[in-house]
């Protein structure tokens, strides 16, 4: 974080120890559910806001259109979810996003008819902090109820400077969130696949009226799932020879030999095929 950003923040908050404590909490919460709440706290300590909304936009820069908007967290003053409608003001924000090179602040003022805000909850002032990385845009959207005053020039200047520290953290949070979501989906697919294999294997055993020990079943399922003998030995903390012994015992009961024989038995292919 640049010295000018820290100095500006300390001037706004007037409390150095509290500021660094909140900043440490924010950094530590990257990738966690509490990230939005911690960012809300560190911003609200300097600039009063009613809602903070975090998102990552993926943009088709050739077409000038939005591919997707991924929510990354929200926090409000009363800790109650706020319904935000970005579609009405999406074109204005998108037009500004397309030309951003590094960091951008987009201040959307209320129209003359206060009861019809351009976006989000009825009658709110908006300040959007945006960063760019390839075709992705990280967005920190700050909302203030129209019963309060609009963001001042001093506050906007402070937020623009502070965004140079906050937006890189949001980018890390977005990347971590994507990685965790992908890993969760992969693990779920593996788990579901393993459960399906186990059901089918047990059905085949029942049809063949064959009983295997728990360890023999475990070895067979591991082999059928694509694991090698050394991998199974490492996972089960036994010697390679032990895995081979269990596989031979299971094969003798099933009337097959080795990995290929087991796979053919499982798929219903004749052993002479």
Using pLDDT thresholds of 50, 70 and 90, give the confidence band for residue 78: confident
Contacts of 172 (CB under 8 A, 6+ apart): 30, 31
117-121, 131-135, 156-160, 258-262: which range is least confident on average? 117-121
CATH of 3-181, one of 3.90.930, 3.30.450, 3.40.50, 1.10.260: 3.30.450
Q: pLDDT digit string (tens) for 232-246?
A: 888 888 899 999 999
Share of the chain above pLDDT 70, in %: 78
Cβ burial, residue 129 (10 Å; 0-12/13-18/19+): buried
Specify the pLDDT at position 187.
Answer: 60
Q: pLDDT digit string (tens) for 166-210?
A: 999 999 999 888 877 666 655 665 566 678 888 888 998 999 899
Specify the pLDDT at position 271.
Answer: 52
Mean pLDDT of 43-48: 92
2-16, 89-103, 117-131, 182-196: which range is least confident on average? 2-16
Cα–Cα dist 29/24, whole Å: 9
Specify the pLDDT at position 115.
Answer: 43
Contacts of 257 (CB under 8 A, 6+ apart): 251
Q: Is the pLDDT of residue 118 over 50?
A: no
| Per-domain boundaries in the chain | 3-181, 210-267
Specify the pLDDT at position 14.
Answer: 54
| CATH architecture of the domain formed by 210-267 | Orthogonal Bundle (1.10)
CA angle in degrees (0–180, nearest 5) for 39-86-26: 10
């Amino acid at each position: 974080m640049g010295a000018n950003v820290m100095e500006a923040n300390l001037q706004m908050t007037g409390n150095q120890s509290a500021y660094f404590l909140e900043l440490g909490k924010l950094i530590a919460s990257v990738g966690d559910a509490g990230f939005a709440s911690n960012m809300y706290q560190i911003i609200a300590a300097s600039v009063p806001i009613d809602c903070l909304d975090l998102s990552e936009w993926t943009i088709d820069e050739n077409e000038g259109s939005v591919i997707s908007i991924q929510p990354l967290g929200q926090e409000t003053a009363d800790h109650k979810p706020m319904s935000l409608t970005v579609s009405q003001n999406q074109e204005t924000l998108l037009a500004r996003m397309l030309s951003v090179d590094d960091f951008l602040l987009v201040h959307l003022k209320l129209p003359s008819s206060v009861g019809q805000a351009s976006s989000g909850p009825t009658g709110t002032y908006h300040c959007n902090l945006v960063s760019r990385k390839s075709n992705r845009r990280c967005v920190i959207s700050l909302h203030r109820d129209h019963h309060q005053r609009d963001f001042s020039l001093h506050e906007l200047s402070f937020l623009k400077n502070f965004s140079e520290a906050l937006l890189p953290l949001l980018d890390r949070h977005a990347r971590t969130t994507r990685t965790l979501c992908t890993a969760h989906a992969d693990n779920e697919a593996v788990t579901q696949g393993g459960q399906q294999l186990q059901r089918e294997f047990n059905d085949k055993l029942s049809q063949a009226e064959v009983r295997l020990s728990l360890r023999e079943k475990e070895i067979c399922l591991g082999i059928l799932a694509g694991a090698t003998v050394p991998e199974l030995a490492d996972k089960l903390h036994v010697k390679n020879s032990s895995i081979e012994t269990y596989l031979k015992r299971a094969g003798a009961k099933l009337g097959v030999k080795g990995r290929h024989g087991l796979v053919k038995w499982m798929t219903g292919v004749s052993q002479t095929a």
